[in-house]
Each structure stands twice: as structure tokens, then as C-alpha cells.
């Protein structure tokens, strides 16, 4: 398949920037980015961006697909932030001198349903306070940040908000004005130069809080829901190690876990009908191993194997054993 067929136009004159990025694959033509950015001319510390662009949450969302060492983002981000982009406006603060230059902030208000037209009057707040500390003499750098997502999902008229946080029973409410959608995330990146082997990178992120979904899915909505909403407490994380092997090769080891319902586990799922637990409550973990080879400045080859494990339950017919869903990816990527 053609996973990504992207053409990006970027006009940048230092104080203003315009970006348009399209994605053309065998599935059709899609919009990835369409935004303008403005930077104030005096301190060059504050900026505003408006349009369709990456949500300012965590690290992996904004880490370019052309540079990422694994074929895809973690299941956690694919579920919570499908498509990575959203329609909105953000403020950026990035001091350029002194101690404060080690910190930055990005935050703003978004439609909340990805690269789609706005469907309601609700706006979601997304923001990240980041830091970056280089230790040049030690060949070390440490970056990281804390992120917040505060938003909502519209509960359709006559439908119920079902809170599934018990293995025996669930609570149900109707006419809830704001079911709530909130995330708290932490991320960190460590870069270090090892003797002989070369540079390595350690990355990790952790996200938890509340996510509304459906009976069978815990992914974020990209359009107005039509049925009952299921509210769950979730948690997820990933850890990633990238080791340079000379100038042209990289070894990749990644582990990610996404538990869409931290209040139940295993055979508790599906045991009692009153608990309303099902496929949307199943935890997944993925161990990824990969090798990246850079043919030249434009071409790279990715050999990557994902070993996917899912939570099992004797009370769910489809999840009585681990699913056969491991994936081997061989990718040829050309970027310019």
C-alpha cells in the first residue's frame, strides 16, 4: 500500500508562515495541514497559528512521520488523536534568551473532531508546557513536557451516558449537558552520545484520565455520535529506545500499552451484563522491534515487527485468547 503520499508547500518569511499539505494515496486525496502562523516582530517570542495542524499535545503527535523510526504512532495516540490534526487556533510562547529559553508553551482551542468541519459550538482546550535542557559538554540533552486536554462530546438527545467503572454494574444518565473528555499527559526524551556505538534516544509518554466512547470502541469521535456514550477511566504509555549503529543504521525497540478501562480487567469483562463491559474495554500491548537503514539523504528502508497482545476474557467469545494480529512492515520511504 501507499501509506503516505504527501506533498507539502511551506512559505516562511520568518515572521509569517503558510503551510498546505495534501496526502494522495490509492484511497484518495486527503488534507493533512492548512494553516497560517504569525510571530510578533519585537521580541519574536509570541506566535499565533490558525487552521488545521498538529494538536499541541505530547511529543509523538508532532514528531514528523518522515523522521519517525517506527512505521506508525502508538495505539494510544491512534485511539485518542486519530489523524493527529485538528481545526483550531493556538498561542505559542518560546523565549529566545536567558533561563526562560529552556521553556516553551503551546496551547489553544480546537473543534475537537479532527480534520472535519465543526459540528457543534463546543471547543476543546489543548496545551503543552515544555522544557529543553542541553548539556553540551556531556553530549546529553533532556527534553520533556506536561500536556492537558480538556474537552467535551455532545450526548445525542434521548441517549444515555453510561459510566463503566465496575465489574458488576454500570451507572446510566440521560440529558447530560457535557459528558466530559479530559487527558493529562507527561513526556520525556533523553539524547546521549555513546562511545563507539554513537547517539541513542530514549523516549516515553504517559497519558490518563477520562475518555467517552461506544460499547465496542474507545477511539475519539471525529463526528457527532449517534448512540449512547460510554465513559471510561483510561491509561496508556509507551517507551522507545533508538540506537544509532554507525552513520546509516538504527536499531529500534518500542513497547506501548493502552488500557481503555483501568477499573476492570480480564474475566471481569463480560461477566455481568449489568456492567455493560465489552470489546471497548480490552487492553492492548505492543512490543515493536525494528531496523532502519538510510540508503542516502532521501531514501530509507524500515524493517519492523509488531508483536501485539490483547487482554483475554473467558466471558467474551471474540477475546477468549490472544488475537492473531502481529504485523511485519517493510517500508521504502522517499522524502525530499
Residue 134 is predicted with a pLDDT of 95
> CA–CA separation, 60 vs 186, rounded Å?
11
> CA–CA separation, 110 vs 178, rounded Å?
16
Listed as ranges, residues in the chain with pLDDT below 50 are none
What's this model's pTM, rounded to 2 decimal places? 0.94
Residue 215 is predicted with a pLDDT of 94
- DSSP 8-class letter at 80: H
Residue 87 is predicted with a pLDDT of 95
Grid cell, residue 186, equals 507527561
Residue with cell 509569517: 16
Q: What are the φ and ψ backbone dihedral angles of 136, each rounded to 5 degrees?
A: -60, -45
Residues 148-185: tens digit of each pLDDT:
999 999 999 899 999 999 999 999 999 888 888 999 99
Spell out the CATH class of 126-334. Answer: mainly beta
Residue 196 is predicted with a pLDDT of 75
Residue 198 is predicted with a pLDDT of 86
Residue 13 is predicted with a pLDDT of 93
How is the chain split among helix, strand and coil, in percent rounded to 5?
A: 5, 50, 40
State the maximum Cα–Cα separation within the chain, in Å, rounded to a whole number: 65
Q: Report the SS3 class of residue 59.
A: coil
What is the number of other CB atoms lying within 10 angstroms of the CB of residue 161?
Answer: 20
Residue 205 near residue 309, CB atoms below 8 Å: no
Residue 115 is predicted with a pLDDT of 85
Amino acid at each position: 500500500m501507499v501509506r503516505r503520499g504527501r506533498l507539502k508547500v511551506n512559505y516562511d518569511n520568518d515572521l509569517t508562515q503558510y503551510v498546505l499539505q495534501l496526502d494522495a494515496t490509492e484511497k484518495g486525496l486527503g488534507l493533512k495541514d492548512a494553516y497560517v502562523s504569525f510571530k510578533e516582530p519585537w521580541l519574536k517570542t509570541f506566535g499565533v497559528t490558525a487552521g488545521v495542524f498538529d494538536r499541541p499535545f505530547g511529543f509523538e503527535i508532532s514528531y514528523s512521520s518522515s523522521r519517525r523510526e517506527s512505521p506508525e504512532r502508538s495505539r494510544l495516540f491512534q485511539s485518542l488523536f486519530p489523524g493527529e490534526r485538528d481545526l483550531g487556533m493556538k498561542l505559542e510562547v518560546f523565549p529566545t534568551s536567558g533561563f526562560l529559553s529552556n521553556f516553551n508553551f503551546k496551547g489553544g482551542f480546537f473543534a475537537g473532531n479532527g480534520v472535519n468541519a465543526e459540528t457543534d459550538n463546543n471547543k476543546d482546550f489543548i496545551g503543552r508546557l515544555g522544557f529543553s535542557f542541553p548539556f553540551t559538554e556531556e553530549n546529553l540533552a533532556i527534553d520533556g513536557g506536561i500536556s492537558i486536554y480538556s474537552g467535551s462530546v455532545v450526548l445525542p438527545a434521548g441517549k444515555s451516558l453510561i459510566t463503566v467503572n465496575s465489574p458488576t454494574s454500570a451507572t446510566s444518565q440521560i440529558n447530560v449537558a457535557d459528558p466530559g473528555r479530559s487527558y493529562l499527559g507527561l513526556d520525556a526524551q533523553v539524547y546521549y552520545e555513546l562511545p563507539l556505538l554513537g547517539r541513542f534516544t530514549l523516549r516515553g509518554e504517559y497519558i490518563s484520565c477520562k475518555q467517552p466512547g461506544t460499547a465496542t470502541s474507545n477511539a475519539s469521535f471525529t463526528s457527532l455520535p449517534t448512540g449512547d456514550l460510554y465513559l471510561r477511566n483510561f491509561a496508556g504509555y509507551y517507551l522507545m529506545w533508538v540506537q544509532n549503529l554507525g552513520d546509516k543504521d538504527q536499531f529500534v525497540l518500542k513497547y506501548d500499552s493502552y488500557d481503555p478501562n483501568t477499573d476492570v480487567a480480564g474475566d471481569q469483562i463480560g461477566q455481568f451484563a449489568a456492567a455493560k463491559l465489552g470489546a471497548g474495554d480490552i487492553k492492548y500491548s505492543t512490543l515493536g522491534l525494528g531496523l532502519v537503514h538510510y540508503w542516502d539523504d532521501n531514501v530509507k528502508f524500515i524493517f519492523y515487527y509488531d508483536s501485539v497482545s490483547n487482554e483475554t476474557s473467558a466471558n467474551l467469545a471474540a477475546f477468549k485468547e490472544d488475537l492473531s494480529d502481529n504485523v511485519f512492515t517493510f517500508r521504502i520511504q522517499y522524502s525530499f
